[in-house]
Amino acid sequence: MSVDLNPTPRLLLGPGPSLVHPRVLRAMATPLVGHLDPDFVAILSDIRRMLRLVFRTENELTLAVSGTGTAAMEAALGNLIEPGDRMLACVQGYFGDRLAEMGRRYGADVERLEVPWGAAQDPAAIEAALARRPAKVVTLVHAETSTGVHQPEVAAIANACHRHGALLVLDAVTSLGGVPVEVDAWGVDVAYGAAQKSLSGPPGLSPITVGERARQAIARRTTLPPVFYFDLELLGRYWSDAPTYHHTAPISTAYGLREALRLALEEGLETRWARHARNAARLWDGLARLDLPLLVAPHLRLATLTTPRLPGSFDEAALRKRLLLDYRIEIAGGFGPLAGKVWRIGLMGESSRPEHVLTLLAALEELLRG
Ligand SMILES: *Cc1c(COP(=O)(O)O)cnc(C)c1O
């Protein structure tokens, strides 16, 4: 016999998962029904309706893929890319790089447009790259969780893509629910998120929305999407008012996501974005007082993820471990070229509260100055 389940309570201030509201936890304890039960069909319909509001879209094909954000990445690229298609991957950090790698695995002929980690993409450079070499798909990360950069001018980038006949796939995993994401107003063709970041839901379902242009591109495929599990047209038939079986939806996770979406919409998206901006500003001020300057220039800073630069005068991994074990606060280290050089502090969804910012700053002050 093993002991009762009792993980240590943690203040989750890393790149996800974020803290969830008790209402989400209670929703997840609701008795199971079947994935084709009429009551569950109504729940799927609630989720679709609320996802359209959160994505700010009227796209019919809007649903949540089973799996974490990575599953939504697979769904986006696996449905759009056929072997030999050209893809332009905008790479300014780990997740942009991962999209390039995924495109390659689906057989795309991938060109990488790279900027240094900590910088953002320039719409004119994307347009110039497409003018030189057209592409079917352009991938862009809106909130690069590896660097803390908030990509501006997504609408201008979408326009540039469309002028050159390309579709824009936007990774909104860390932005959705925390900072403005405007799928229709910006003209984004496919956008996806994840429940457990700024939406503060349980990991395991990942929102995705597919616009008309992208649906037509999928319909024009000469081969079927290679992964049955992520076939968006089949998933769309399940996420409908008359669902046909595709795979068993994660019932409890759907309960949790539904409640998380309800909470986000009760708060109001604008109010929620303002809360994230306010708490991030407070964190940035406090880090400056601790002599931890930020990696990212002020106009590109992401409210949901902050990357203080480390002076190199202390063992950052040991300090993070003490923060976790002695103070029960989770933050993350940097990776790739930023390993050992930055921390990654997430203020996403329920984690973005002034009292959490104060707790973290006080703990860091004790650890660094104590
Ligand atoms: C976390 C993250 C992902 C991947 O999500 P998982 O839920 O870890 O699978 C993708 N893109 C970005 C920008 C992320 O932050």
Q: Out of 246, 265, 284, pick the residue that ends a domain.
A: 265
Atom of ligand 1 nearest to the CA of 141: 13
Do 213 and 305 belong to one domain? no
In the Cβ-directed half-sphere of 95, how many Cα atoms lie within 13 Å?
A: 28
Cβ 102 under 6 angstroms from ligand 1: no
Same domain, 260 and 306: no
Residue 362 confidence (pLDDT):
98
Are 191 and 115 contained in the same domain?
yes
* Residue 233: DSSP 8-state: H
User: Same structural domain for residues 29 and 159?
Assistant: yes
Helix (H) or strand (E) holding 350: none
Distance 103 CA to ligand 1 centre (A): 16
Establish if 133 belongs to a structural domain. Answer: yes
Ligand 1 centre from 147 Cα, in Å?
13
pLDDT digits over 342-364, tens only? 999 999 999 999 999 999 999 99
Atom of ligand 1 lying closest to residue 144 CA: 13
- Ligand 1 contact via 95 beta carbon (within 6 Å): yes
Q: Is 147 in the pocket of ligand 1 (CB under 6 A)?
A: no
Q: Do 144 and 30 sit in the same domain of this protein?
A: yes
Whether residue 168 lies inside any domain: the answer is: yes
Predicted local distance difference test score (pLDDT) of residue 312: 85
Residue 296 within a domain:
yes
> Are 233 and 276 members of one domain?
no
Query: DSSP readout, 30-73?
Result: SPP--TT-HHHHHHHHHHHHHHHHHHT---SEEEEEESSHHHHH
- The β-bridge partners of 192 are 171, 208
**Which pLDDT score is estimated for 251?**
98
Q: What is the position in ligand 1's atom list of the atom closest to the CA of 71?
A: 9
For ligand 1, whether the C-beta of 92 sits within 6 Å is no
DSSP letters of 251-274?
A: HHHHHHHHHHHHHHHHH-HHHHHH
Domain presence at residue 6: no
Question: For 202-228, what is the mean pLDDT?
Answer: 98
Does residue 5 belong to any structural domain of this protein?
no
Probe target for ligand 1 pocket from 66, 68, 170, 175, with the most ligand atoms within 8 Å of CB: 68
Helix locations, the chain, DSSP H: 22-28, 38-55, 69-80, 94-105, 123-132, 154-163, 183-186, 212-219, 232-238, 251-267, 269-289, 316-327, 354-369
For ligand 1, atom 10: residue with the closest CA? 69
The interaxial angle of helices 354-369 and 316-327, nearest 10 deg, is 120
Structure tokens belonging to residue 242: 């008359």
Long-range contact list for 284-288, CB < 8 A, 24+ apart?
286/357, 286/361, 287/361
The pLDDT-based confidence of 323 (bands split at 50, 70, 90) is very high
Domain closes at, from 211, 231, 265: 265
- The Cα–Cα gap between 142 and 292 comes to 25
Judge contact between 49 and 90, C-beta under 8 A: no
Tokens of 95: 């997740």
Predicted local distance difference test score (pLDDT) of residue 122: 98
Return the pLDDT at 178: 98
With a 6 A CB cut-off, is 192 part of the ligand 1 pocket? no
The answer to whether residue 2 sits within a structural domain is no
Number of domains making up the chain: 2
For β-strands 137-141 and 86-91, DSSP reports them as parallel
Ligand 1 site, residue 171, Cβ cutoff 6 A: yes
Residues 213 and 286 grouped into a single domain: no
DSSP-derived 3-state class of residue 89:
strand
In this structure, the answer to whether residues 260 and 355 fall within a common structural domain is: no
Q: pLDDT tens, 91-105?
A: 999 999 999 999 999
Both 260 and 286 in one domain: the answer is no
- Unique residue bearing structure tokens 């074990």: 325
Task: Using the atom order of ligand 1, give the atom closest to the CA of residue 16.
Answer: 1
363 pocket-lining for ligand 1 (C-beta < 6 Å): no
- DSSP category for residue 112: E
Residues 126 and 191 in one domain: yes
Is the pLDDT at 370 greater than 80? The verdict is no
pTM: 0.98
At residue 95, the pLDDT reads: 98
The finding on whether 45 has its CB within 6 A of some atom of ligand 1 is no
Report in angstroms the alpha-carbon separations of 201 from 181, 195, 213, 215.
Answer: 18, 5, 30, 27
Rg of the chain over Cα atoms, rounded to whole angstroms, equals 21
The reply to whether 108 and 213 lie within a common domain is: yes
- Single residue among 244, 265, 286 that ends a domain in this structure: 265
Question: Could you report the per-residue pLDDT of 106-135, keeping only the tens digit for each?
Answer: 999 999 999 999 999 999 999 999 999 999
Would you say residue 140 lies in a domain?
A: yes
**Same domain assignment for residues 272 and 261:** no
- Residue 4 forms part of a structural domain: no
Atom 15 of ligand 1, nearest CA residue: 145
What CATH number corresponds to the domain at position 274? 3.90.1150.10
State the average pLDDT over residues 160-168.
Answer: 98
Cβ(190)–Cβ(76) below 8 Å: yes
Most ligand 1 atoms within 8 A of CB, residue of 73, 95, 190 to mutate = 95
Alpha-carbon span 122 to 127, nearest angstrom: 9
- The closest-lying atom of ligand 1 relative to the alpha carbon of residue 196 is 7
Q: Whose CA is nearest to atom 14 of ligand 1?
A: 173
Report pLDDT digits (tens) over 22-37: 999 999 999 999 999 9
CA-based nearest residue to 354, from 300, 286, 297: 286
**Given this model, what pLDDT does residue 313 score?**
86
Atom of ligand 1 nearest to the CA of 305: 15
Does the C-beta of 75 come closer than 6 Å to ligand 1?
no
- Tell me, using a 6 A CB cutoff, whether residue 69 lines ligand 1: yes
Give residue 72's domain range: 22-265
Name which residue sits closest to atom 12 of ligand 1, judged by CA: 173
Identify residue 3 by its one-letter amino acid code. V
C-alpha 69 chain-centroid distance: 6
pLDDT at residue 155 in the model: 98
Give the domain CATH number at 196: 3.40.640.10
The CB of 350 under 6 Å from ligand 1? The reply is no
Contacts of 7 (CB under 8 A, 6+ apart): none
The rounded distance, in Å, linking the Cα atoms of 309 and 368 is: 14
Phi, psi (degrees; rounded to nearest 5) at 323: -60, -40
